[in-house]
């Protein structure tokens, strides 16, 4: 019995140490989440303003055309997939990757029909294990990423569409709603959809010409959308980590309570047995 009591006591100590770690990780994720959430929310008005300007040009200029607005028969598709570098983030990575795999299975019959641009070590490892075509990858991003960190990947994806290496470009990420809710999302990045470009009330004058402005603005706009999705993904990752570590801390507390109760019962049983043995010995000698 004494051996069993010692084992329970060691187990309680081990879980207490784990709880301290998960609690600390929850607090760190919570602090980082506030900054990541602010960045994600701050990027949205900028993206919307760019969308408004692009829509105004497309809607107000008759006959205007740009390669990034032209739809063509789809032979090959690019997917930009945003995941995390580390684990302990609950279902964040699994949900995004499941969404991507559903898209690949429903839209393609061969690996030659698509290429994967992957941000995050978890996504890279997942696709490499399945021998899927990873064209470009970026890992080891900080919790406060800059556009310069992903510029090469974003440029390669946009350039691939302009050069007709890819006929469509999709971006796959987790849209941040709040710390508890993150929605796996797949949005078409290219070609830009003219359907969304009606009903623009603002008017602009362009110099030297609308076509010249589009030539510069559209690639920047596409890269901005990619960076905005990365900020959404980073906020989602930290929210998922905070929630996961909070749940782990609560579970550890519950386990400690149950083990403490078991320990007290075992200790009481041991004391009772010792008293019984002492009384029995005393009676035998009388």
More confident residue, 277 or 79: 79
Instruction: Compute the average pLDDT of residues 188-209.
Output: 65
- C-alpha distance from residue 207 to each of 200, 210, 211, 226, 264 (Å): 20, 7, 10, 27, 81
User: Residue 28: pLDDT band by 50, 70, 90 thresholds?
Assistant: very high
Long-range contacts of 131-134 (CB under 8 A, 24+ apart): 132/104
Calculate ∠ Cα 173-219-144, nearest 5°: 45
**Residue 197 has what pLDDT?**
44
- C-alpha distance from residue 182 to each of 91, 99, 233, 238 (Å): 10, 13, 9, 10
User: Residue 100: pLDDT band by 50, 70, 90 thresholds?
Assistant: very high
CA distance 36 to 150: 17
Q: Is 75 helix (H, G, I), strand (E, B) or coil?
A: coil
Instruction: Compute the average pLDDT of residues 53-70.
Output: 70
Instruction: Compute the average pLDDT of residues 250-270.
Output: 90
**Residue 194 has what pLDDT?**
58
CA distance 157 to 190: 10
Per cent of the chain over pLDDT 90 is 57
How confident is the prediction for the chain on average, in pLDDT? Answer: 87
Instruction: Compute the average pLDDT of residues 24-52.
Output: 89
Closest CA to 228 of 55, 103, 64, 43: 43
Helix (H) or strand (E) holding 263: helix 210-285
**Residue 216 has what pLDDT?**
80
Q: Is there a contact between 203 and 51 (Cβ–Cβ < 8 Å)?
A: no
Residue 196 pLDDT > 70: no
All structural domains of the chain: 2-25+245-285 (1.10.287.80), 35-243 (3.40.1380.10)
Q: Is there a contact between 15 and 252 (Cβ–Cβ < 8 Å)?
A: yes
Q: Which of 47-56, 70-79, 116-125 has the highest mean pLDDT?
A: 116-125
């Amino acid at each position: 019995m004494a051996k069993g009591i010692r084992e329970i006591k060691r187990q309680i100590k081990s879980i207490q140490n784990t709880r301290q770690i998960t609690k600390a990780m929850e607090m760190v994720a919570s602090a980082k989440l506030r900054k990541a959430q602010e960045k994600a929310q701050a990027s949205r008005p900028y993206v919307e303003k760019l969308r408004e300007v692009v829509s105004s040009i497309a809607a107000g200029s008759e006959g205007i055309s740009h390669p990034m607005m032209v739809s063509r028969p789809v032979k090959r598709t690019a997917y930009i997939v945003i995941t995390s570098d580390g684990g302990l983030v609950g279902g964040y990575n699994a949900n995004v990757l499941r969404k991507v795999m559903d898209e690949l299975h429903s839209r393609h019959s061969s690996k030659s029909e698509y290429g994967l641009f992957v941000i995050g070590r978890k996504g890279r490892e997942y696709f490499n294990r399945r021998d899927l075509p990873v064209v470009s990858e970026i890992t080891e991003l900080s919790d406060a990423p800059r556009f310069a960190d992903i510029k090469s990947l974003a440029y390669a994806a946009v350039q691939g569409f302009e050069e007709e290496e890819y006929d469509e470009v999709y971006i796959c990420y987790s849209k941040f709603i709040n710390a508890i809710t993150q929605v796996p999302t797949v949005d078409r990045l290219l070609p830009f959809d003219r359907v969304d470009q009606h009903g623009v009330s603002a008017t602009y004058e362009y110099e030297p010409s609308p076509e010249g402005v589009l030539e510069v603005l559209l690639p920047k706009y596409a890269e901005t959308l990619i960076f905005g999705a990365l900020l959404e993904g980073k906020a989602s990752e930290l929210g998922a980590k905070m929630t996961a570590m909070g749940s782990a801390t609560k579970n550890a507390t519950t386990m400690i309570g149950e083990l403490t109760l078991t320990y007290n019962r075992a200790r009481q049983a041991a004391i009772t047995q010792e008293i019984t043995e002492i009384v029995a010995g005393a009676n035998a000698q009388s």
